[in-house]
Homo-oligomer: A and B are copies of this chain.
């Protein structure tokens, strides 16, 4: 059945970020709707932001296109240009390789949500705009390092 039973999905909480960055993801959860439908070529997730929560560390992707549509409340896009409030139905696109780091923050007192689509590629490098952190991924998994490739030491903020 192609229609996805959203009520059957359990929101995923937590973060893959190493400490201390993981603590910044409090109040953020997501529904993996694309995975629930058996899709593999791109991720399709509904991100749920409690008041004050952020979607991720501000980042950009070398190889993966990303697309967002706000589906509930107001999500504020933060990128190199500043802050842009986005309402239900508003869309944003982040082309692979564009080094304009971005994330979304819920500055309101109500829960907000957006749908995010991201291509899945065999390899990927992601760069975090505001901290000394990058992620390198391939089919075997992912690794976080400093931007110069050296190991983390916990003082990257």
Contact = CB atoms under 8 A, between A and B. Distances in A.
B94 A2 contact: yes
A25 interface: no
A143 to B, nearest CB: 23
A153 interface: no
Copies of this protein in the assembly total 2
B69 A38 contact: no
Contacts of A39: 65, 67, 93, 95
A64 interface: yes
Nearest to A66: B39
A90 interface: yes
A93 to B, nearest CB: 2
A13 interface: no
Contacts of A20: none
A3 B6 CA distance: 27
A92 B2 contact: yes
Nearest to A39: B65
Interface string A119-143: 1000000000000000000000000
